C-alpha cells in the first residue's frame, strides 16, 4: 500500500554505505511530493511577507507577556482608562503566550519567524489534506496553488493562525478515520485541550465532527450525492471522541467561560460585527473577492460538464464555507479548507498519479536546498520589519511620548491602541484598542465611532471622557477638526500621526 509520501513498500536500490531504512527515509524527504509542498510554502510566504503586522498583533503580544511575567491570567481590563476594572478575560491566552515568547526571544524578527512558520504549516496541511482526499499529489498541489491568492489575504500574525492549523489537523484526522484508520481520532481530544485555550475556532472543529457523524448515519445516493453509513464501531468511536473533545473544552484557567465565548460573541456583539472590517461581507469589488467569485463560478461550471461524486458531509461543509466567506471576510480560509479537497478530487480525474520509480531525488535535493535559501531570503530582517511597522503605526509619536509622557486621558485611534499597549504598557492607559468586545459592552466602542466619524457629539464626547490629548491619524477627519479648533494645539506631527493637546477648557455652551 502506498504511504503519504508514496514510497512505502516499494523496492528501492540501496547505495553502498546506506542502510535500507535510512535510504528509504531520505528518499521520502527528497521526493517530488515534498518538493511540491515546499514550492507551495514558498509561494504562500511570498504572499504573506507584507501581512506583518496586524493592529491586533500588538495587544495579543502584550497580554501574553503579562501572563509570562505575572504567572496569572487577567480577569479585569488593565490597559484602558475607559473600561478600567471591567471584567475581561484573555480568551486566546495560550496563542498570546506563544506570540509573546517569540517576540521576547527575537523581537519583530522572532514574531516574523513564528508568523512565517504558521503560514507554511497551514499551506502544507492544506496540501496534505487535498492529497488525503484525492489520493493524487499533483492534483493536491495544483488545487492548493489555485486557492493561495485567497488564503494569503488573511494570513495575519494572530492566534487565529494556530486555530487554522488545528482545524486542518481535525479535517485530516476525520478523513483518515473515514478511510479506515481507526487511530486517527485519538489525537483530537488532547489537541482540543490546547485549541480551546488558543483560539475560538475550536467551534468549527466541533461542527466538522458533527457533520461527519451525521453524514454517516444512513446510506444515501441521489445522482452524484452519496452518503455511506458508519459501522456501529465507528459511530461509537466518533461519539466517544466528540465527548472527550467537549470535556477538554472545560479545562481552561477560566472554567467554561472560554468555551462559551464564541457563542456569546455571535449573540451579544452586533456593533463589533457590523463595524470591524474583518467581520464585513466579502466585497466583490476587491481583488480577492473577484478571484473568489470567478473561482467558484468556474468550478461550478466545470462540474456541469464533468460531474464528480460528492459525499453529503463534504457538500454541506462546502456550502457552509461559501456562505461563511461571503458573510465575513475573516472566514475566507474556512472556505478554502472545504474547497481545496473538492478541487483536488476533480483534478485527479485527469492527473497521472505520482510514480516514485520515476523520481529524481538528487535533483529534488538541489531544488529543495535552493527553496530553503529562498524562503530564508523572503523573511524580512529586523530592519525591514521595523520599516514596515513604521509605515502604519505611530513609531515616532511613541518615541515622543516616551520623552514627553501625557497625563491620563489621551484619545487614540482604534488601530493605534494595540501598538500603544505593546510599547507603553499598562502605565499608559489607552482610550480604545482591538478588544472590541470589551468596548462594545461598556459603550466605549459606540462613542469612539461617533468621535471618529465626526458625529455632532464628537466634541462633547471628548469633553465627557476628559480627553486632554489625542494621538490620531494625521490625515484623518478628526485631525482636521482639531487643527481648526481654538481649544486644541498640535504638539507633534510626522508622516502618519499627530498629537494634539487641549490648549484650554472649552467655554460652556451658550457663552
pLDDT at 511: 44
How many Cβ atoms from other residues are within 10 Å of residue 14's Cβ? Answer: 13
The C-alpha atoms of residue 308 and residue 464 are separated, in whole angstroms, by 63
| For residue 125, pLDDT beyond 80 | yes
- Mean pLDDT value across residues 293-299: 90
CA 390 to chain centre: 23
Q: Which of 26, 49, 28 is nearest to 37 (CA)?
A: 28
Burial of 175 (0-12, 13-18, 19+ CB in 10 A): middle
Q: Residue 20: count other Cβ atoms within 10 Å of its Cβ.
A: 9
Between 253 and 426, where is the model more confident? 253
Percent share of the chain, pLDDT over 70: 93
Q: Are 252 and 261 in contact (CB under 8 A)?
A: no
Neighbours of 469 (CB within 10 A): 21
pLDDT digits (tens, 9 = 90+) for 491-505: 999 999 999 999 866
What is the distance between the alpha carbons of residues 126 and 120, in angstroms, rounded to a whole number?
Answer: 10
Q: What is the pLDDT of residue 12?
A: 43
**Helices H, strands E: what count in the chain?**
22, 7
| pLDDT for position 21 | 63
- Residues β-bridged to residue 226: 221, 311
Rg for the chain (alpha carbons), in Å? 26
The three-class DSSP label of residue 287 is helix
Lowest mean pLDDT among 20-34, 211-225, 314-328: 20-34
Give 354's pLDDT tier (boundaries 50, 70, 90): confident
CA distance 216 to 178: 9
Strands 225-227, 310-311: pairing is parallel
What lies within 8 Å, CB to CB, of 132 at 6+ separation is 4, 172, 175, 176, 179, 341
Considering the chain, what percentage of its residues have pLDDT values greater than 90?
A: 62
Residue 108 has pLDDT above 60, yes or no: yes
Q: Would you mind telling me the total number of residues written for the chain in this entry?
A: 511
Is the pLDDT at 18 greater than 70, yes or no? no
290 three-class SS: helix
Give the confidence band of 302 by pLDDT, cuts at 50, 70, 90: confident
Confidence of residue 67 (pLDDT cuts 50, 70, 90): very high
Task: Identify the pLDDT of residue 266.
Answer: 82
Q: Residues 47-66: what's their mean pLDDT? A: 86
Burial class (CB in 10 A: 0-12, 13-18, 19+), 18: exposed
Kind and range of the H or E run holding 298: helix 287-305
d(CA 236, CA 227): 18
Tens of pLDDT, residues 360-417 = 888 888 988 998 888 888 888 888 888 888 888 999 999 999 998 887 899 999 999 9
Question: Cell 504558521, residue?
Answer: 118
- Residues 6 and 364: beta-carbon distance below 8 Å: no
Q: What is the DSSP string of 257-296?
A: HHHHHHHHHHHH-HHHHHHSGGGSPPPTTSHHHHHHHHHH
Does residue 450 surpass a pLDDT of 80? Answer: yes
DSSP-based three-state secondary structure for 84: coil
Quote the mean pLDDT of the chain.
89
pLDDT of residue 344: 94
Amino acid at each position: 500500500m502506498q504511504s503519504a509520501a508514496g514510497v512505502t513498500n516499494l523496492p528501492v536500490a540501496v547505495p553502498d554505505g546506506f542502510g535500507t531504512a535510512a535510504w528509504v527515509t531520505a528518499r521520502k524527504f527528497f521526493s517530488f511530493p515534498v518538493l511540491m509542498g515546499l514550492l507551495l510554502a514558498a509561494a504562500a510566504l511570498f504572499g504573506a511577507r507584507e501581512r506583518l503586522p496586524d493592529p491586533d498583533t500588538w495587544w495579543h503580544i502584550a497580554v501574553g507577556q503579562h501572563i509570562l511575567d505575572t504567572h496569572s491570567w487577567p480577569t479585569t481590563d488593565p490597559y484602558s482608562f475607559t473600561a478600567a476594572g471591567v471584567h475581561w478575560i484573555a480568551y486566546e491566552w495560550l496563542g498570546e503566550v506563544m506570540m509573546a515568547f517569540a517576540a521576547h526571544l527575537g523581537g519583530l524578527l522572532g514574531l516574523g519567524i513564528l508568523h512565517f512558520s504558521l503560514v507554511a504549516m497551514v499551506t502544507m496541511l492544506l496540501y496534505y489534506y487535498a492529497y488525503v482526499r484525492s489520493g493524487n499529489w499533483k492534483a493536491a498541489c495544483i488545487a492548493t496553488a489555485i486557492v493561495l491568492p485567497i488564503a494569503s489575504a488573511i494570513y495575519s500574525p494572530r492566534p487565529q493562525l494556530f486555530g487554522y492549523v488545528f482545524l486542518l489537523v481535525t479535517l485530516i484526522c476525520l478523513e483518515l478515520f473515514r478511510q479506515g484508520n481507526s487511530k486517527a481520532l485519538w489525537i483530537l481530544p488532547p489537541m482540543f485541550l490546547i485549541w480551546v485555550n488558543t483560539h475560538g475556532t475550536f467551534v468549527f472543529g466541533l461542527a466538522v465532527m458533527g457533520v461527519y457523524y451525521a453524514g454517516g448515519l444512513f446510506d444515501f445516493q441521489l445522482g452524484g450525492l452519496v452518503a455511506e453509513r458508519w459501522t456501529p464501531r465507528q459511530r461509537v468511536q466518533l461519539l466517544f471522541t466528540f465527548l472527550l473533545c467537549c470535556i477538554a473544552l472545560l479545562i481552561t484557567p477560566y472554567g467554561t467561560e472560554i468555551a462559551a465565548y464564541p457563542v456569546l460573541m455571535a449573540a451579544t456583539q452586533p456593533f463589533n460585527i457590523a463595524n470591524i472590517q474583518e467581520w464585513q461581507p466579502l466585497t466583490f469589488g476587491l481583488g480577492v473577492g473577484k478571484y473568489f467569485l470567478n473561482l467558484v463560478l468556474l468550478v461550478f461550471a466545470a462540474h456541469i460538464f464533468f460531474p464528480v461524486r460528492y459525499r453529503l458531509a463534504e457538500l454541506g461543509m462546502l456550502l457552509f464555507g461559501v456562505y461563511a466567506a461571503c458573510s465575513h471576510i475573516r472566514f475566507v480560509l474556512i472556505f478554502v479548507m472545504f474547497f481545496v479537497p473538492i478541487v483536488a478530487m476533480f483534478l485527479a480525474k485527469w492527473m497521472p498519479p505520482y510514480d516514485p520509480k520515476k523520481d529524481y531525488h538528487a535533483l529534488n535535493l538541489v531544488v529543495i536546498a535552493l527553496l530553503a535559501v529562498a524562503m530564508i531570503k523572503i523573511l524580512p530582517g529586523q530592519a525591514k520589519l521595523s520599516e514596515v511597522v513604521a509605515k502604519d503605526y505611530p513609531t515616532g509619536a511613541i518615541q515622543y511620548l516616551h520623552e514627553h509622557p501625557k497625563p491620563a486621558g489621551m484619545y487614540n485611534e482604534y488601530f493605534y491602541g494595540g501598538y500603544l499597549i505593546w510599547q507603553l504598557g499598562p502605565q499608559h492607559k489607552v482610550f480604545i484598542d482591538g478588544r472590541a468586545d470589551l468596548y462594545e459592552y461598556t459603550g466605549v466602542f459606540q462613542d469612539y465611532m461617533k468621535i471618529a466619524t465626526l458625529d455632532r457629539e464628537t466634541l462633547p464626547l471628548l469633553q465627557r471622557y476628559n480627553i486632554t490629548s489625542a494621538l490620531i491619524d494625521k490625515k484623518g477627519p478628526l485631525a482636521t477638526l482639531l487643527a481648526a479648533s481654538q481649544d486644541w494645539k498640535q504638539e507633534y506631527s510626522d508622516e502618519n500621526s499627530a498629537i494634539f493637546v487641549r490648549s484650554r477648557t472649552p467655554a460652556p455652551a451658550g457663552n
